Amino acid sequence: MKTERVYKWDNVKFILILLVIAGHFADNLYGYSWCKTIFLAVYLFHMPAFFFIAGLFSKKTVNADRLDPLKIVPFFLTGILVNFLSYYVRLLTSGSATFYFIWRNQIGWYLFAYAVMYILTWLLRKVRHSYVLVVSLFLMLFAGLDETVGSFLAVSRIITFFPVFYAGYILEEDKARSFLDRAAVKICSVGILAAYCVFVYLKTDLLAQYRGIITGNINYVDVLGERYLSGIPARIIFYIIMILVIAALCSVMPSRKIPFISYGGSNTMPVYFFHLPCVRVLLLIEPFRQLLSHGGKTGIIVVLVSSLIMIFVFTLPPFVKFMDLIMRPRPAVPVSQTSENKKKLWVCH
């Protein structure tokens, strides 16, 4: 029986992939104050939101008696390929670049972390949910005290964001959506998002001191030095803000199908795969960079328009089909059925 698609999550993912692109523009122009504000506002919640939605729809794979490798291996492969693409474009544009086959602070970290979280959740599927969640939250808080925890193998980010993925896994999608769609929750969500924007705008310089903790890829010692113990309350505060913003964003997004937005949100992988080299090439074009240097409304409009164009281009059929070849290696027709058809064809001849 085919279930009806819930477009709310596609609509949320569209906003998130738009923020991914905008965040990479801001990261490359972090020296501008307006880019710093956008970067911090985006990175505090956008990737955890992706993990939450992934966890929400992970139940069929995770609860299976046998973990299907064809649903996991493509993420490792795509992570390697997207890292190589990013490396090659950086090499061509700047003349020097470093390629890490094993993940460090490169764009492929998300796909590697995604696969690892699936495997961890499958391994822990028979353990009491409350126990796993409490232990993962404990590790999320205190792993940052270990100076060896960092970007290698995306260990820091896996530990930091796994509780969000797991929370999505243990929540029932229909119940979560029913709560988020309440009128009172939607009204509160608008206020939360408005307050969040004002908070980041006013406290950009303060938040910038915790950049490594916000992005989740650096331990407390490397970020805060002798003040490393303050990383624990900082992460608690950031986690609370992150949860509120993710819930608010999911609440305000409509559940109906929206042209371009719903389609773009259902095809975020090719956008994720191809956008970063495009961002780097655009930033080499002097007139384009000059527009961004003006900052304010002009810079924001240029970033948003550029991001929307990339989503439109990279969700065109050729790019979607390319990603399907990598991400869906299983044949569309079952092997047994294919073999049977071959037998029939042989008999007919």
83 or 313: which leads in pLDDT: 313
- Residues 292/303, Cβ–Cβ less than 8 Å: yes
* Position 90 in a domain: yes
Tens digits of per-residue pLDDT, 3-18?
678 899 999 999 999 9
Give the pLDDT score at 93.
84
Tens digits of per-residue pLDDT, 20-39?
999 999 999 998 999 999 99
Distant-in-sequence, close-in-space partners of 144: CB < 8 Å, separation ≥ 6:
156, 213, 219, 220, 221, 228, 231, 232, 235
174 pLDDT tier (thresholds 50, 70, 90): very high
Give the pLDDT score at 335.
47
Name the residue range of residue 65's domain. Answer: 7-348
188 pLDDT tier (thresholds 50, 70, 90): very high
* Position 160 in a domain: yes
Question: What span, in angstroms and rounded, lies between the C-alpha atoms of 273 and 248?
Answer: 27
331 pLDDT tier (thresholds 50, 70, 90): low
**Helix segments in the chain, DSSP class H:** 7-28, 33-43, 46-56, 59-62, 73-94, 109-123, 129-142, 155-170, 173-180, 183-202, 204-208, 211-215, 220-224, 231-252, 261-265, 268-282, 286-293, 296-314, 317-327, 335-348
Alpha-carbon dihedral angle through residues 14, 16, 21, 26, given to the nearest 10 degrees? 150
pLDDT > 90 fraction of the chain, expressed in percent and rounded: 74
Kindly report the backbone phi and psi dihedral angles of residue 214, in degrees, each rounded to the nearest multiple of 5, phi listed first: -65, -45
* Position 261 in a domain: yes
Tens digits of per-residue pLDDT, 233-266?
999 999 999 999 999 999 999 999 999 999 999 9
Question: What span, in angstroms and rounded, lies between the C-alpha atoms of 141 and 145?
Answer: 8
273 pLDDT tier (thresholds 50, 70, 90): very high
The stretch 157-166 carries a mean pLDDT of 96
Distant-in-sequence, close-in-space partners of 195: CB < 8 Å, separation ≥ 6:
none
Give the pLDDT score at 160.
95
Give the pLDDT score at 297.
85
Give the pLDDT score at 264.
97
The stretch 304-316 carries a mean pLDDT of 97
Dihedral sign, Cα of residue 32, residue 34, residue 35, residue 40: positive
* Position 2 in a domain: no
Give the pLDDT score at 152.
82
Give the pLDDT score at 65.
92
The stretch 93-111 carries a mean pLDDT of 78
- Residues 117/140, Cβ–Cβ less than 8 Å: no
Counted residue by residue, the chain has a size of 349
* Position 1 in a domain: no
Question: What span, in angstroms and rounded, lies between the C-alpha atoms of 115 and 84?
Answer: 18
Give the pLDDT score at 324.
93
What does pLDDT average to over the chain? 90
Question: What span, in angstroms and rounded, lies between the C-alpha atoms of 264 and 301?
Answer: 20
* Position 328 in a domain: yes
97 pLDDT tier (thresholds 50, 70, 90): confident
103 pLDDT tier (thresholds 50, 70, 90): low
pLDDT at 334 over 80: no
pLDDT at 1 over 50: no
83 or 312: which leads in pLDDT: 312
* Position 120 in a domain: yes
How many domains is the chain partitioned into structurally? 1
Give the pLDDT score at 151.
79
Give the pLDDT score at 92.
87
* Position 172 in a domain: yes
pLDDT at 340 over 80: no
Q: Which range, 132-141, 283-292, 333-342, is most confident? A: 132-141
Give the pLDDT score at 11.
97
